[in-house]
Structure 1
């Protein structure tokens, strides 16, 4: 049984300014997006330019932040935020929903595609392989902060970990690391390899939806459920409810992509 290292959430300070690890993980996510995106532009068939990539990242950042915050408000804590509306803009206090951020990015990509006269699915196909490592960086930030810990685990499990922030000394699954392994690294490998060859429009996006939804559904079984609009359920959690439409949409998108190819 292990004890969470209890990292200082502040990586370093610049005078009165505290630079937190979680913020650095966001910067790392955005940096890898640019680096991998530039590689794709140079080595794979795409109509995007390096200059457009920078603009695309700006739109994506806005989508992540606005959508992620609104997702937290609407999906997980509507009662609290409707009673304290000024807290909605206090993003520095934490509270970001992946599924909300995902919807925010979809809207941002649609606006970007319209501005640059691109097909929306061509844009989402391009960014899909660039997303998982960014998600892994965010989950690493969660682990450093000792938040979003897992469910109580068998003490005999070698990697079971005590998270003092949970308010008890019970060994738990380090579910943040499971998220990193599946939704981050494994999904990245799947998408990177799948997108190496030309695919029908929308196919790569469909595989992303299926892969993330399925991996998230699995990891939620090891994560302490969040309080959501359906309450706190240990049977089907809020994260799992939100992942089911992703899987269904991905299957439909993949089917339509290959059907269009054969027409």
Structure 2
């Protein structure tokens, strides 16, 4: 059993200005994502230039930040934020929704595709293999912040952690579980899957299905949000409820992609 280190959420302070680790992880995810996207442009079946990648990154940043924050506000704690609207701007305190960020990126991709006269699925199939690295870094940020902690361990495991700010009981380091499942494992799966041409929409379908399944499993080890608790059947969390449509849409996209006349993404 380990005691989680008492991380300072502030990575760097210069006078009155503070840089939070949460923001550092978001910046790192965009930089790594940009590098990986440029690497994908070297594949024979990918018709993207480095200039287009740079332009698309601007859309992705807006989609992630605006969608993630508004998604958290609307999907998780609308009453609390509508009572204190200024708190919506306090992104350094955490509070970003992956599902909201996904919708934001989808909307930003749609706008980019429309302006560039591309098929929407060509755009989201291009970016889907890169997203899990951002998820990995985001979960590391959650771990540093000491948020989204795991459930209390009832069957001892050697990697259980004590979060002093939460209590003395050992807990699952659920942020690290999610970093490995939704991040590293899904990245490896998608990256190698997308090295070859696939029918349009299939890469996105694999991402949605893979993330939805990984998140659904990880939620069994994550402490339910205190403002929501269990929302269905006495055991399902909000994260699990929001993941089910992702799995359904992902499976539908894979079936559609492989049963229609193939358009290569």
Q: Which TM-score band (shorter chain)? A: over 0.9
Q: SS of 1:165's equivalent?
A: coil
Task: Give the equivalent residue in structure 1 for 2:76.
Answer: 76
**What is the rounded CA distance, in whole Å, between the counterparts of 1:44 and 1:6 in structure 2?**
47
Structure 2: how far apart are the matches of 1:156 and 1:221?
A: 16
Is this contact kept in 2: 1:34–1:53, CA < 8 A?
yes
- Determine the structure 1 residue equivalent to 2:185: 186
In structure 2, what is the equivalent of residue 232 of structure 1? Answer: 229
The total of aligned residue pairs comes to: 260
Detail structure 1 runs of 4+ shifted over 6 Å in the superposition. none
Contact 2:59/2:108, CA 8 A, preserved across alignment: yes
**Hey, what's the Cα distance between the residues in 2 that align with 1:45 and 1:141?**
34
Q: Which moved more, 1:38-47 or 1:188-197?
A: 38-47
Aligned counterparts of 1:95 and 1:111: Cα–Cα separation in 2: 25
Partner of residue 196, structure 1: 195
| SS of alignment partner, residue 219 of structure 2 | helix
The RMSD of aligned alpha carbons is 1.5
* Equivalence for 1:251: 251
Instruction: Give the aligned partner of residue 95 of structure 1.
Output: 95
8 Å contact 2:212–2:244 — kept in the other structure? yes
Q: Distance in 2 between matches of 1:205 and 1:165?
A: 38
Q: SS of the counterpart of 1:122?
A: helix
Answer yes or no: is the 8 Å Cα contact 1:217–1:239 preserved in 2: yes
From the superposition, tell whether residues 101 and 262 of structure 1 become closer, same or farther in structure 2 (CA, over 3 Å): closer
Contact 1:60 1:105 (C-alpha < 8 Å) held by counterparts: yes
Q: How does 1:147-226 map to 2 (within 5 A)?
A: 147-154=147-154, 156-166=156-166, 168-226=167-225
Deviations 1:49-100 (A, max 9, x none): 1111111111011111111111111111011112122222332332111101
Match of 1:26 in 2: 26
List gaps (5 residues or longer) in structure 2. Answer: none
For the residue of structure 2 that corresponds to 1:11, the secondary structure is strand
Other structure's SS at 1:164 match: coil
Larger helix share, 1 or 2:
1
Partner of 2:16: 16
TM-score, normalization by structure 1? 0.95
Q: Following superposition of structure 1 onto structure 2, how do residues 100-119 of structure 1 map, counting pairs within 5 Å?
A: 100-119=100-119
How far, CA to CA, are the matches of 2:23 and 2:211 in structure 1?
23
CA distance in 1, matches of 2:10, 2:44: 39
